[in-house]
C-alpha cells in the first residue's frame, strides 16, 4: 500500500501556500489576531519542511 496523504500539505496546496514565506505571512496574520505575542513565532523553514514531508 502507498503512504497516506499528508493532510497539511494538501491543505496548504489548496490555499496556495506552498512556500515557507507564504505560510509565514498567513501564520503571522492569524497569530496577530489571536495574540499579538504569537506574531513572531512562525516555525522555521526546516520545521515547515518536516511537516510537509511527514506521512
Q: Is residue 18 part of a domain?
A: yes
> For 8-21, what is each residue's pLDDT tens digit?
899 999 999 889 99
Q: Which of 1-5, 6-10, 21-25, 35-39 has the lowest mean pLDDT?
A: 1-5
Query: Using 50, 70 and 90 to split pLDDT, how confident is the model at 55?
Result: low
Cα 41–44–49 angle (5° rounding)?
135
The answer as to whether 1 is a domain residue is no
pTM of the model: 0.79
Q: For 12-50, b where at least 16 C-beta lie within 10 A, e where not — what string?
A: beeeebeebeebbeebeeebeeeeeeeeeebeeeeebee
Which residue segment(s) compose the domain that 30 sits in?
A: 7-53
- Tell me, yes or no, whether 25 lies in a domain: yes
If one counts the domains in the chain, the total is 1
Amino acid at each position: 500500500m502507498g503512504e497516506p496523504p499528508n493532510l497539511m500539505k494538501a491543505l496548504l496546496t489548496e490555499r496556495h501556500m506552498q512556500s515557507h514565506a507564504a505560510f509565514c505571512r498567513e501564520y503571522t496574520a492569524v497569530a496577530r489576531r489571536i495574540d499579538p505575542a504569537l506574531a513572531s513565532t512562525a516555525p522555521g523553514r526546516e520545521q515547515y519542511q518536516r511537516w510537509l514531508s511527514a506521512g
